[in-house]
Amino acid sequence: NAHTKGLISKDVLAKLRPTSLLINCARGAIIDQAALTEALKEKKFRAGIDVFEVEPTPADEPLLQVDDSNIFTPHVAYKTNEALLRRADITAENLRSFVEGRNDNRVDNLE
């Protein structure tokens, strides 16, 4: 959204130490991607990026061309076995609650 787009700007990136590791698995547009690309090309710090300004990320995206001391994944950081099992457990419990007439975890609960 407009409030968080570019929140991590070129100026913020410039403050990172060479030993820093920037991780973004929130939303791609939070980081100024052009500034991030330049900083990584200059080896100012390293990064682990799971979200991009444009998804699916084009193969010719300059950020993907920086050296391999950085990690880029195609927006799958949420998809661990543990997370998927937990999501299945929550879904099953929500269905059980609904069938039993309880109002647990319902978005239409007006109580």
Q: Pull the structure tokens for residue 91.
A: 């879904």
**3-class DSSP state of 15:** coil
Q: Which residue type, as a one-letter code, is found at position 64?
A: L
Burial class (CB in 10 A: 0-12, 13-18, 19+), 10: middle
Residues designated catalytic: 27, 55, 75
* Rounded CA separation 89/82 (Å): 11
Assess contact for 94 and 104: CB atoms under 8 A.
yes
